[in-house]
Amino acid sequence: MLNLQNPQLHDISRHSLFSLLTVNRAFHDITLPVFYRSCVLHFSNQDRSGAARIESWLKESSAILSFIRNITIAGGQVGYYNPPRGIVLAPAAENTTKWNCVTQLLGKISRLASFTFDYPEQMPIILLDALHKHHPSAHLHIRNWRRSSTSNPVVEPAEEALAHSPCLRSLHGHFITGGPDADFRNEAFDRIAKLSPNLVAISRTSRAQGGCVHYFIGRAKIQKRARKAQKFAVKTPRRKAIKSLRMNFANADTLTDLGSYMDLGQLTSLGDIELTSDFFRLAVEDQTYKLSSLKHLDLNLTSRRSSRDYPATESAFTLFLAEGCGALKSLSIVIETSRPWGPILSTILLYQGFLLDKLSLHQVQGVKRACLTLDEVSEICHSCPGLSSLGLDIDRTVERKAESAYYAILCQFSNLRKLKIYMDSGMHPFAHKKFALEVWEGVSQRTGLTQTVRLRELILCIGEQDVTVFHGYPSPGARSLAASRERVRVKRSERDDRPAEVDVTITSVDNLLRGTAL
């Protein structure tokens, strides 16, 4: 029984394994292989704990080596900020001796399932070769991919080696943009994605660096950069079945490019993305670009050109929900207008509602936003019987009567386990534990024959959480809104003998002045 439960405990509450190790010898022997199944090894100039652990295992020929199935190489940020020249990354170290212990470790492990490289450098060829030699069937995951130089217009050897690696399964990159120099990270990233034979997950996102300095790039420089970018072009991409895709923006041209190297009919997850009306129309009108297997969609439904274009985007999106995608299990929509949810919601409930497991509908806080009406929330309750996670907007009032009406309807969701409420910052005081418990009490009460409460977690987002500063110093009003943002988390105790207890955590979200988004 323990052999079956321990792997699940490893994924749910790894810290609980520490307790099992100390129960007795039998528990220790059963738990130890599970405890070392996944190892995170830290490498940095300040932290050599990862290298020290490996050296001790190799020196003692430890039995731990036979337990390891998943390895993650982690490290801190080594880039630095140079005000006159924008973001500059420290070059990758030419001396690869620090990775010798990792290559030796790979040679000693017998059955490695996955290798994750989450380190602020290119993955060294020496590690890639060792992985291919000793564990050719292991899955390689690259997190926070980067180049040795953002402005290098030449394909680097490490990039070419990674692109042709049969082990590569997922590629993740997040870029800070806005500097004065030419930036070829997107082109280099896309080249790897197009050439990789077995890639199944891609995540490429970016944000502006912010600040008071804005760099203007003339037409001549833009044309020169475009000519250099041609060096990264791929004439014959390798077609593959990408299952998960995350990116900031996509239009019809983006969809056409994606279709050149991936089978869009097998894409199951599309997230963190702003989609345009021509994207939706192409996915509906051309069967080649139909996302027939899509299960998870997380998008920003806002036109970059003008709010006047939103009705066309909304109309194309509703048609996409009906004809351009598969049966969704999770759907998250963020919009930046004050238009009512009616047209979108009616389409969701008609074509997608019955199978939905997760739904989030959020309008960015502004002068005015259109929250879901009580009738619309009630319609969601009746049309989405399997909903386990829900996110919605509820504006706060002084008397709290309006909120109470929403809470009464939310109590009727029979399978809801996680509830996320986006509340306005307004002129209200900061959230406190008493307020959090009052909301929890309001949304977790059950009426009728069944008194079982399934809700496990409540998250209150006070103020707009996802805010990014671009250029210029924030105004006093923006700084005040930033300081008033909070995230409140109420979670039911996991202990079977304390089902009525809840833990309340209140976190201040003050990241606006740093120009970052949550």
Structure-block tokens of residue 378: 């009630």
Average pLDDT of the chain is: 85
Stretch (H or E) spanning 203: strand 201-208
Structure-block tokens of residue 348: 């969701």
Please check the confidence at residue 183 and state whether its pLDDT lies above 70.
yes
Q: How many other C-beta atoms are found inside a 10 Å radius of the C-beta of residue 382? A: 11
- The bridge status of strand 86-88 relative to strand 80-82 is antiparallel
User: 358 forms bridges with which residues in the sheet?
Assistant: 330, 389
- Residue 178: left (phi > 0), alpha (psi -120 to 50), or beta? left
Confidence of residue 96 (pLDDT cuts 50, 70, 90): confident
Instruction: Render pLDDT for 308-336 as a digit per residue (tens, 0 to 9).
Output: 788 899 999 999 999 999 999 999 999 98
Distance between CA atoms of 127 and 140, rounded to whole angstroms?
Answer: 11
Q: Going by C-beta distance under 8 Å and a sequence separation of 6 or more, which residues neighbour residue 513?
A: 469, 474, 479, 482
Give the per-residue pLDDT at 428.
66
Confidence of residue 366 (pLDDT cuts 50, 70, 90): confident
DSSP 3-state percent helix, strand, coil across the chain (nearest 5): 40, 20, 40
Distance between CA atoms of 152 and 164, rounded to whole angstroms?
Answer: 20
**DSSP secondary structure string for all residues of 9-42:** HHHH-THHHHHHHTT-HHHHHHHHHHHTSEEEEE
Give the per-residue pLDDT at 282.
98
- What are the residue boundaries of the structural domains of the chain, listed by start? 36-240, 242-393, 403-518
Q: For the packed helices 25-35 and 2-12, what is the interaxial angle rounded to 10 degrees?
A: 50
Structure-block tokens of residue 220: 């001549």
What does pTM read for this prediction?
Answer: 0.87
Give the per-residue pLDDT at 338.
83
Give the per-residue pLDDT at 85.
43
Higher pLDDT, 17 or 462: 462
Structure-block tokens of residue 332: 């998250």
């939310």: which residue's tokens?
A: 410
Average of pLDDT values for 428-454? 77
Q: For the packed helices 125-134 and 100-108, what is the interaxial angle rounded to 10 degrees?
A: 10
Distance between CA atoms of 161 and 440, rounded to whole angstroms?
Answer: 52
Please check the confidence at residue 16 and state whether its pLDDT lies above 70.
no
Is the four-CA dihedral 489, 495, 496, 498 of positive or negative sign? Answer: negative
Instruction: Render pLDDT for 486-499 as a digit per residue (tens, 0 to 9).
Output: 899 999 987 777 77
Cα 327 to its chain centre, rounded Å, is 21
Give the per-residue pLDDT at 177.
85
Average of pLDDT values for 164-192? 93
Cα 495 to its chain centre, rounded Å, is 29
Give the per-residue pLDDT at 471.
57
Average of pLDDT values for 153-157? 92
Instruction: Render pLDDT for 100-146 as a digit per residue (tens, 0 to 9).
Output: 999 999 999 989 999 999 998 999 999 999 999 999 999 999 999 99
The CATH number given to 242-393 is 3.80.10
Give the per-residue pLDDT at 442.
94
Q: Phi/psi of residue 325, each to 5°?
A: -145, 170
Structure-block tokens of residue 230: 């041609």
Mean pLDDT is highest, among 95-99, 109-113, 200-204, for: 200-204
The type of residue at 322 is: A
Structure-block tokens of residue 276: 């345009």
Give the per-residue pLDDT at 449.
45
DSSP 8-state class, residue 514: G
Percent of the chain with pLDDT over 90: 58
Q: Which fold has domain 36-240?
A: 3.80.10
Please check the confidence at residue 237 and state whether its pLDDT lies above 80.
yes
| Listed residue (249, 228, 233) closest to 182, CA to CA | 228
């969609």: which residue's tokens?
A: 297
